[in-house]
Amino acid sequence: MKNKIIYVLICTLIVATYTASASINLSKKSEIKKPNLFLNDDVPVWETGYSWTYNGEINLGDETIPLYLNLNELDIIITDDSGTYYKGIFGGDIDGEFVVEPSLPISIVIEELNGDIEFKQSNLGIKNVDIRIDGKPKIGETVLPIPAEATISISFNPEYALVDFPIFVGKDWIVPSSHISIDIYVKIFAIMDDTFEFEQDTGSIGLECLIKENVTAGGNTFYSYKITPIDGGSTRGFYYCPDVGNEVLVEYEPGDPFIELLATNYPTPHSPLKPDSPLGPINGEKGKTYTYTTKAIDPDNNQIKYGWDFDGDMFVDKWTDFFDSNDTVETTYTWKKMGSFQIRVKARDTTNKESVWSDPLTVSIPKNLIIQRPILRFLEKYPNLFPILRLLLTRLGL
């Protein structure tokens, strides 16, 4: 069972890093000399707050160990650009299923997938990936109402980079082998509680760039380098676009995974400007609905929709409809739990270009707010009782 779980979770890593296009190992470079038709494009510079949103479908594994994932909006967000590594987070609207133990059979229906990732700044090579999966176990065709979770820590030595910068048409290169160390923890309530360790080398692979062309992804057109395995055919590979500083499309033969860029806030003169910080109540109660407003300007005067993050995790919890540029828009939210939260909002125009996140608004949903009002009503009814307590509550702003 150990190897089966490891295989499935390695497939999950592909979702976070979209590097499965390099799955063909080729140790020999092509000896065909190809002309350099375009200027070099060097490694892009990422900054804190840059993000890329992907859609797609993952269908990996065989009949005994399938993995199915739907990426409705997978966000990759840079959270730290200091030092020699970019640190980022990934997650979003992801659902799917993978089989843990085919002989029983037991699978996990994925309800949430997110994690952290590190890229080396000099070549965008992946150094570390930490993945968290939450869901419910499925036995046969029955989904059980109990929790299931998996955490995976993966490290690459050396860093694993598919694109050899500077990139240009006519270039081919070998991606050197990297040693992968994987620590896995799987817990299914009352069914499984296991930890695994696994190590393996990726093997070297040969890639080449034969063309730079327009490619459509997420309803938009990107002028991109097409990178394919050497002698692996032209139907599989991925497209890297310098204008967005990242891959825009992962393309496979029929039946293999397919991932495309939906939106990005990588800076261009046509991206919406940073929205105003949200305005609205900064104190509230669990279970009550509150209204918040913002606005943003699109330099091309395109319409804008707004993605709201209400729990401070930098992932969109709610999208609005489209509105005219610079119109004040409002949305509502009902707090389902108590605590202190930072609300942010970003704008996306009709061409799927995004703004950076707004400055946050901190909202407090305190645990004791619900019981404050009955106390105050009692003191208002009996003003001469407990004068010291009343004075204390007044000074505390309660």
Domain that holds residue 172: 2-264
Tens of pLDDT, residues 265-293: 998 888 999 999 999 999 999 999 999 99
* 57 closest CA partner among 44, 71, 43, 45: 71
Q: Residue 27: its pLDDT value, please?
A: 30
Out of 29-33, 67-71, 125-129, pick the least confident.
Answer: 29-33
Quote the CA–CA distance of 174 and 152 in Å, as a whole number: 28
Q: Residue 256: its pLDDT value, please?
A: 53
% of residues, the chain, pLDDT over 90? 54
Task: Kindly state whether residues 303 and 240 are assigned to the same domain.
Answer: no
Domain count for the chain: 2
Task: Kindly state whether residues 148 and 213 are assigned to the same domain.
Answer: yes
Q: Which residue has the higher pLDDT, 8 or 79?
A: 79
Quote the CA–CA distance of 89 and 357 in Å, as a whole number: 15
Q: For residue 130, what are the CA distances in angstroms to 13, 182, 185, 241?
A: 9, 10, 11, 26
Q: Residue 66: its pLDDT value, please?
A: 59
Angle between helix 387-395 and helix 369-381 axes, rounded to 10 deg: 140
Residue 395 domain flag: no
Residue 279 domain flag: no
Q: State the pLDDT confidence band at 385, using cuts at 50, 70 and 90.
A: low
- 124: alpha, beta or left? (left if phi > 0; alpha if psi -120 to 50): left
Quote the CA–CA distance of 248 and 226 in Å, as a whole number: 10
Q: Residue 197: its pLDDT value, please?
A: 87
Q: Residue 88: its pLDDT value, please?
A: 96
Task: Kindly state whether residues 132 and 206 are assigned to the same domain.
Answer: yes
Tens of pLDDT, residues 67-126: 678 888 999 999 999 999 999 999 988 888 877 666 677 888 999 889 999 999 999 999
Task: Kindly state whether residues 301 and 257 are assigned to the same domain.
Answer: no
% of residues, the chain, pLDDT over 70? 76
Q: State the pLDDT confidence band at 28, using cuts at 50, 70 and 90.
A: very low
Residue 275 domain flag: no
Q: Residue 1: its pLDDT value, please?
A: 44
- Residue 392: strand, helix, or coil: helix
Q: For residue 212, what are the CA distances in angstroms to 113, 167, 184, 337?
A: 34, 10, 40, 50
Q: Residue 61: its pLDDT value, please?
A: 57
Q: Give the chain's mean pLDDT.
A: 81
Task: Kindly state whether residues 158 and 298 are assigned to the same domain.
Answer: no
Quote the CA–CA distance of 186 and 150 in Å, as a whole number: 4
- Strand ranges in 125-171 using DSSP code E only, listed in sequence order: 126-139, 142-143, 148-160
Q: Is the pLDDT of residue 24 over 60?
A: no
Residue 392 domain flag: no
Determine the average pLDDT of the residues in 375-384: 56
Q: Is the pLDDT of residue 13 over 60?
A: no
* 147 closest CA partner among 99, 96, 190, 189: 189
- Residue 109: strand, helix, or coil: strand
Q: What's the distance, Cα to Cα, between the start and end of the chain in Å?
A: 57
Task: Kindly state whether residues 233 and 305 are assigned to the same domain.
Answer: no
Tens of pLDDT, residues 136-177: 998 888 999 999 998 889 999 999 999 999 999 999 999 999
Residue 271 domain flag: no
Q: Residue 218: its pLDDT value, please?
A: 87
Determine the average pLDDT of the residues in 51-63: 78
Task: Kindly state whether residues 224 and 359 are assigned to the same domain.
Answer: no
* 218 closest CA partner among 341, 332, 85, 351: 351
Task: Kindly state whether residues 161 and 21 are assigned to the same domain.
Answer: yes
Task: Kindly state whether residues 205 and 333 are assigned to the same domain.
Answer: no
Q: Which residue has the higher pLDDT, 253 or 395?
A: 253
Task: Kindly state whether residues 87 and 201 are assigned to the same domain.
Answer: yes
Length of the chain: 398
Burial of 363 (0-12, 13-18, 19+ CB in 10 A): buried
- Strand ranges in 178-266 using DSSP code E only, listed in sequence order: 179-188, 192-201, 205-217, 220-229, 237-241, 246-251, 258-264
Q: Residue 57: its pLDDT value, please?
A: 83
CATH number for the domain harbouring residue 321: 2.60.40
Reading the block at residue 146, the tokens are 């109990």
Residue 119 domain flag: yes
Q: Residue 285: its pLDDT value, please?
A: 92
Q: Is the pLDDT of residue 314 over 80?
A: yes
Task: Kindly state whether residues 79 and 186 are assigned to the same domain.
Answer: yes
Q: Residue 384: its pLDDT value, please?
A: 56
Out of 14-18, 41-45, 67-71, 140-144, pick the least confident.
Answer: 14-18
Task: Kindly state whether residues 226 and 328 are assigned to the same domain.
Answer: no
Q: Residue 99: its pLDDT value, please?
A: 73
Q: Is 108 in contact with 133 (CB distance < 8 Å)?
A: yes
* 81 closest CA partner among 51, 39, 108: 51
Determine the average pLDDT of the residues in 28-49: 62
Q: Residue 377: its pLDDT value, please?
A: 60
